[in-house]
Amino acid sequence: MDIDRANHQAVQRMIEARPMLRSVAIARDVIPGLSGRKLLHAGPPIDWERMSGPLRGAVIGAALFEGWADDDQQARELAATGEIAFEPCHHRGAVGPMAGVTSPSMAVYVVENLTHGNRAYSNLNEGYGKVLRYGAYSSEVLEKLRFMNDEMGPLLSKALEALGGIDVKALLAEALHMGDEGHNRNKAGSLLFLKLLAPAITEVAGDSQLATRVLAFLGDNALSVLNPVMAACKAMADAAHGIEGSTLVTAMARNGTEFGIRVSSLGDRWFTAPAQTPVGLYFTGYSAEDANPDIGDSTITETAGIGAFAMAAAPAIVTFISGKPKDALHATLEMYEISASEHPAFTIPALDFRGTPVGIDLRKVVELGITPRVNTGIAHKEAGIGQVGAGLVRPPMEIFEAALLAFAETIGPEGKPE
């Protein structure tokens, strides 16, 4: 079996994918299998018992949002007694930042990969402060979710329809020339997103108050494009999944307790180990003691060749995550070591327009002892509080070793799949 050839095929599919943001829809209407009292969450599979604070908080919030429970205590009981089913977003073509909790009634972005036909989904970004994705579930959190679901979502969907969709790959390519890396820094991408949507929003809104509110909501949130970007990365990564003989990593995700990866040729298996705690900068009043272990599906960005892999494009990010601009440069340079290719669409001006490293090769990670770098937000470890900082983290090496071992077992003595 020619692993290099398989990896080449896989990474080419990832590169050639063309994710187009099509619409906003209600999750249960578009995500297969998301019905009844089921919640999707970030990272590999996990049950209520082992969930960390912020994921529990988001589960409680989603149960309240859905009306399954009247209060926090009732929501906890439902979750603890198996009345709520849990499944990773990744099992349903979805991704969500931080807790990633997506309930059947929630609005989600729908991304279609025009090249290969697969779809991916992500919930809407709530902005800053007390938000569900960081485990907050107070009435203001739920009120904002209702505004997003009932007012903003339908308007965005109509605007996207009027635009014929948004080419997220082109948007990302431009944002990387404007100091974004596409994961923790999405300032430029969010403005490009706003620019594309704004005239369509005013055109279809039929209500200038709503248009004003939505334009302000999107404009005030430098992460507004993160969720469509994540869905786009999921669509790209999924296009590379299922290639026989490939050692390419097609998913990296954390549930706040464990970090998990999936590999192109190893089907639906997760390889997991305890998640590490990010190192970074904390908001005033918080410190590393408050930090939850690494959480969220947003590592799909690094999986698809942006985020920390594109950090050389975003030297200003160090004001947010710590370090010096040269560290941002080095981050990208190091990631070339473990990547199968360089992305022709995502280029870095400061590196003479070299393509970002793309397609993490399990073999290289283990051989060189270099784990992928990840930019991330940091959640408070207790439910209901929210974000406390942002920083850098790496997945545990043992999951790559375990995956490589599993891969080796699929190869017969002749070097062919058994």
Positions touching a second copy (CB under 8 A) are 177-180, 187-188, 191-192, 194-196, 198-199, 202-203, 205-206, 208, 211-213, 215-216, 219, 315-316, 318-319, 324-326, 349-353
Distance in Å, CB of 199 to a second copy, minimum: 4
Task: For residue 35, count other CB atoms closer than 10 A to its CB.
Answer: 11
Distance in Å, CB of 312 to a second copy, minimum: 10
Strands 119-123 and 94-95: parallel
Distance in Å, CB of 159 to a second copy, minimum: 11
Closer residue to a second copy in complex, CB, 215/406: 215
Query: Are the beta carbons of 43 and 80 closer than 8 angstroms?
Result: no
Widest distance between CA atoms in the chain: 68
Closer residue to a second copy in complex, CB, 178/397: 178
Closer residue to a second copy in complex, CB, 50/326: 326
Helices (H), 304-415: 318-321, 325-336, 362-368, 397-409
Radius of gyration, alpha carbons of the chain: 20
Cα–Cα distance list, 415 to 113, 244, 265 (Å): 33, 13, 14
Distance in Å, CB of 124 to a second copy, minimum: 18
Q: 364 is written with which tokens?
A: 């290289």
Closer residue to a second copy in complex, CB, 242/325: 325
Burial of 167 (0-12, 13-18, 19+ CB in 10 A): middle
What are the backbone angles phi and psi of residue 322, rounded to the nearest 5°?
Answer: 90, 165
Distance in Å, CB of 191 to a second copy, minimum: 4
Q: Give the single-character DSSP code of 268.
A: T
Closer residue to a second copy in complex, CB, 354/363: 354
Q: 231 is written with which tokens?
A: 């869905």
Distance in Å, CB of 203 to a second copy, minimum: 5
